[in-house]
Every structure is written in structure tokens, then in C-alpha cells.
């Protein structure tokens, strides 16, 4: 299957890369970030290396980084008219 949209794996890896860059700008080691966020060091390392992380852990990291508000726009239902057309038989 081909798509112009990025895959979930590509998005998660890009998030991990941006997170790692932000962590370094904040001058936090992986150990410090894990301790301060409540996310295990193993989970943080796995996220930065593979992009895989639980939603709860991702939100904790975002909170510590001052980026939790970035999630406010996810799944907004402001204009679903185009999406609704996909599920109607008209």
C-alpha cells in the first residue's frame, strides 16, 4: 500500500527524534529525565531508539518538557464534514 502520508512508525520515530533533541536542549540526561518524569529509564531509552512508548509515558515526558499543551489539537472534531462523507452512502 502506498501513501503520501507518513506511516505511524515514521511519525513515532520523528517524535522520538524531536524529543531527544528537546531533552538535550533542556540539558537533561536520560537518567535525569526518567527520574523527573516518572518514566522508567528503559522506556525512555526504547522511545528514543525506536519511537515506541506508551501514551501515558509520552504524556509524562511532554509534561516535564513543557509541551503537554501540544496534544490539545489531536482528535479535534471542529470540521468533520469531509470525514463524514467517507462513511455515508450518498
**Mean local confidence (pLDDT), 61-88:** 83
Return the domain boundaries, the chain: 8-65
How confident is the model over 43-64, as pLDDT tens digits?
A: 999 999 999 999 999 999 999 9
Report CA 42 to chain centroid distance, whole Å: 17
pTM, 2 dp? 0.80
CATH of 8-65, one of 2.40.50.220, 1.10.260.40, 3.40.190.290, 2.120.10.70: 1.10.260.40
Report CA 67 to chain centroid distance, whole Å: 10
**Would residue 89 be called left, alpha or beta, if left means φ above 0 and alpha means ψ between -120 and 50 degrees?**
alpha
Which residue would you say has higher pLDDT here, 3 or 54?
A: 54
Q: What percent of the chain has pLDDT over 90?
A: 74
Look at residue 47 in the predicted model and tell me its pLDDT: 98
CB-count burial class (<10 Å; 0-12, 13-18, 19+) for 73? exposed
Amino acid at each position: 500500500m502506498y501513501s503520501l502520508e507518513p506511516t505511524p512508525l515514521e511519525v513515532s520515530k520523528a517524535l522520538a527524534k524531536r524529543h531527544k533533541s528537546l531533552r538535550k536542549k533542556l540539558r537533561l540526561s536520560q537518567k535525569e529525565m526518567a527520574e523527573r518524569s516518572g518514566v522508567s529509564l528503559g522506556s525512555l531509552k526504547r522511545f528514543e531508539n525506536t519511537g515506541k512508548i506508551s501514551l501515558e509515558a509520552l504524556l509524562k515526558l511532554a509534561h516535564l518538557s513543557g509541551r503537554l499543551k501540544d496534544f490539545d489539537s489531536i482528535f479535534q472534531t471542529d470540521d468533520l464534514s469531509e470525514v463524514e462523507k467517507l462513511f455515508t452512502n450518498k
